[in-house]
Structure 1
Amino acid sequence: MVAIDPSKSPTLSTQALVLENAELKLEIRPDLGGRIDQLQDLQTGKKWLWHPESYNPDKPRSLEVGASFDEHWTGGWDEVFPNDAGGEFQGRNLVDHGELWSQSWEVTESTKLGVTMRYVCQTVPVTVIKNIRISASKPKAAIVYTLQNQSDEPIPFLLKHHAAIAIEPGDEMVLPDCMIEPVTLDFSRIIGKQQQTRFPKALTAEGTEINIKQMPPRSSQLQEFFYSSQLAAGHCGIRSMKSKSALIMRFDTAEFPYVWMFQSYGGWRDHYVVVVEPCTTMPYDLNVACENGTVAYLQPQETQTRSLMITLQRSESLRAAQGDRS
């Protein structure tokens, strides 16, 4: 089920795998960190995943473990593991945004409705297996991770979805009842106080209460990055006003208890994108997460799975189906 014509794409490195039914289409790139490169609603035509204008999907990529994430980021739906912030941690040299995103994955199984890929980490003794599958007839997909600790030591870790969503002015963030707080005020251009508030409310630097659910235009040149915690339910996503649809992620809050929301409304590198990031761990620094007791663990020789469901919702069923309290 390789969806690339060999005559048009002479190298294996630029081949994509396509999962498709009558409702949605997923393009998967084992060579680009095993990521979902595009997710398209075949009923509305909307392509949900963002890429910069300079992105060329036919251009091969070869990166070292430890390459700068920001300098090589081209959108799509990456994963971050076993860490976010790079540096020394418990005797290991962990790299920027982990290593899954930058390396090619081995495809171990591929069918019309699913693909399984495998990657053996270099910075930690962990093997990661990722299975992506779609429903035979519904606008639904699932991502299941199997993490295998090959060592006799416990491994603290962070596993985070990094889904770059294509947005338009007026689109809305979807979160359950939860608490939010800025990652760092040095980056924030909307939230102005380093304290928790209940979504969708936030405080400016002057203490004025604002609603941050709706996306401002690119011309605003704003940017924001916040954590959400104490989730009342395991879901998040983006609601598109133009297509009258939403991309909703559902998960067990025991597996992904936090959702990070990275927002660039033209303010960061002129990008216009929101990155939706269900995560096992908070904050981005593993040392701090360990001290706070907010880090995930793989016990010695443990194998564990974590999963996330993707649903495309449309028109009149949107609000009722998503269970959004915001």
Structure 2
Amino acid sequence: MSQPETCLLQNAELAVTVLPAEGGRIASLVSRRSGLEFLTQARVDRTPVAPSLKAAFRDGPCAGIEECLPTIGPCGEETEGGAAPDHGDFWQLGWDVTGTPDRAHLRLQATGFSRPLRFSKELSLEGSTLHIRYRVENLSSLPVSFLYACHPLFAVSEGDRVVLPEEIRELELYYSLGDRLGAPGTAISWPQPVEGIDLRIVGARNAAIAEMLYTDRLQRGRCGLYRAAAGQGLILSFDAAQLPYLGLWLCYGGWPEPGVEPLQYAVALEPTFAPLNTLLGAQRANLSPVLAAGESQEWSIAFQITAPGIQLADFSL
């Protein structure tokens, strides 16, 4: 059966564009009330990536909501189950649309190449919320471990606000360009790690900042982004019992590296199973889920768009 190049989900509140052939990624999330696009857009001059263990994520779309499984950072042969590619298998693969999609529902699936895992997701619209239900299944006769992170690259402008749960007082630093915030593994205060820096406030496009941080185990799976010019916010919600950690990527012209165009300008709020960037690291910390033969695991994430024209003080999780 031929697969659609583009799938559009739409209701009175949202317009969502999905590209099955490009890793099943969500390429656009637009509020129909304001016209505001909440996701970064891919550059048009890129060459399609051939799926492989050596594929570099920076050569792909690097835009929208992509899926990282069975790892985020690349892993070598010392990893249980063997090597795994940069940002995982599934951003590289074409996904199959299953069932009959309509304007409010879409189901997709793909089978990985570094691990015998089938990954599926079901998208649905309910008012101003995009719901995504995920399922990963072990197709083999042996146990398989994996790591997952949702990878939504949100469009931002200078002065926008990142909003984390009140419980967050400290984050662990995984990476900071030029060690601006310290060395990897440093515990930093949220939201002001040092005097003069407020990590809640989105910096300028050319600020040459790139930082990856992780929360400790969460009690509540909610976070958000407030778009100041439009007075409109996005709330990302998930079950912290299913996805116990949150990764925070702040990139204001600091990736792939200063001087290499196009430079990324985005914030990513990444629900995940472990506060680690690689499957190998998660395995060593005993934080990677393990699926027995034929076993599956499910989880859900929701993206809710607020009404436009609200004040920051009225944007709450």
State whether TM-score is above 0.5. Answer: yes
Return the offset for 1:318. 6.8
Structure 1 residue corresponding to 2:26, chosen from 7, 12, 36: 36
Choose 250-259 or 273-282, whichever is displaced more. 273-282
Aligned residue pair count:
302
Q: Which residue of 1 aligns with 2:123?
A: 132
Normalising by structure 2, we get a TM-score of 0.87
Query: Equivalent pairs: percent with the same residue?
Result: 25
Q: Which ranges of structure 2 fall in alignment gaps of 5 or more residues?
A: 257-262
RMSD: 2.3
Q: Which residue of 2 aligns with 1:304?
A: 297
Structure 2 residue corresponding to 1:24, chosen from 14, 38, 54: 14
- Partner Cα distance (1:211, 1:318) in 2: 16
Q: Which residue of 1 aligns with 2:218?
A: 231
Over 3 Å counting, the alpha-carbon distance change for 1:289 and 1:218 in structure 2 is same
Return the offset for 1:106. 0.7
Structure 2 residue corresponding to 1:84, chosen from 50, 72, 95: 72
Over 3 Å counting, the alpha-carbon distance change for 1:124 and 1:243 in structure 2 is same
- Partner Cα distance (2:95, 2:220) in 1: 32
Mapping for residues 179-218 of structure 1, pairs under 5 Å: 179-185=170-176, 187=177, 190-193=180-183, 194-203=185-194, 208=195, 210-218=197-205
> CA-to-partner distance for each residue in 1:115-167, whole Å, 9 max, x for gaps?
101111121111111111111xx101111111111223332211111111110
Q: Which residue of 2 aligns with 1:291?
A: 284
> CA-to-partner distance for each residue in 1:153-203, whole Å, 9 max, x for gaps?
332211111111110000111211223111134x35542254223421324
Choose 189-198 or 242-251, whichever is displaced more. 189-198
Return the offset for 1:260. 1.2
- Partner Cα distance (1:111, 1:188) in 2: 47
Q: Which residue of 1 aligns with 2:259?
A: none
Mapping for residues 1-326 of structure 1, pairs under 5 Å: 15-52=5-42, 54-55=43-44, 61=48, 63-66=50-53, 67-86=55-74, 87-88=76-77, 89-109=79-99, 110-135=101-126, 138-176=127-165, 177-178=167-168, 179-185=170-176, 187=177, 190-193=180-183, 194-203=185-194, 208=195, 210-269=197-256, 270-314=263-307, 315-316=309-310, 322-323=316-317
- Partner Cα distance (1:263, 1:55) in 2: 23
Return the offset for 1:321. 6.5
Normalising by structure 1, we get a TM-score of 0.85
Corresponding residue SS for 2:215: strand
Question: 2:236·2:301 contact (CA, 8 Å) conserved in 1?
Answer: yes
